[in-house]
Amino acid sequence: MPFLVSDTSVIIDLDRGDLLDPAFALEDSLVVPDLLFERELDQAFGDRLRALGIVIESLEGSEVRHAAQLGRAERRLSVADTFAFALAHGRQWTLLTGDGVLRAIAQAEGVQVHGVLWIIDRIEAAGLCDAPTLHACLTKTAAHPRCRLPRREVDMRLKRYLTA
């Protein structure tokens, strides 16, 4: 079973669009580092994420050192983001992020990286949601003032869902 290491923004965007349940119904395991879960997700989403089957992983010593090195080199990243990157990099798992800086670093270091729209595409391909539901969910996510999804990509999907 493939592992997808998520940062906080992906979980939040999926929740805003009511897409957590279908995301966890995919064949992949959604994983977060323990530090990220405890600092950023547990209070607001902990019980729900546990019930959905989130995997919470501790980093090995070498992964913690890698996260610390990355944090010193790239101060725009949070500690939680560096832990997500180090976990994905160290175990050769896919990283899910909405953070442009983290995405660029992952690409530069050869880590497979995707975002929320990729997850939504996978939900669609797996038949876990129909087009009208995906349209409503993505519209809701994209309407949030803190949404950072690429508008052009969002609009392309919304148009496709209307014609499906």
Give tens-digit pLDDT for 69-88: 999 999 999 999 999 999 99
Mean pLDDT of 14-28: 97
Name the pLDDT band for 2 (thresholds 50, 70, 90): confident
- Indicate the average pLDDT of the chain: 96
The DSSP line for the chain is: --EEEE-HHHHHHHHHTT-HHHHHHSSSEEEEEHHHIIIIIHHHHHHHHHHHT-EEEPPPHHHHHHHHHHHHH-TTS-HHHHHHHHHHHHHTPEEE---HHHHHHHHHTT--EE-HHHHHHHHHHTTSS-HHHHHHHHHHHHHSTT--S-HHHHHHHHHHHHH-
CATH architecture type of domain 3-116? 3-Layer(aba) Sandwich (3.40)
pTM given for the model: 0.94
Could you state, in order of their start, the residue ranges of all structural domains in the chain?
Answer: 3-116, 127-163
34-48, pLDDT tens digit by residue?
999 999 999 999 999
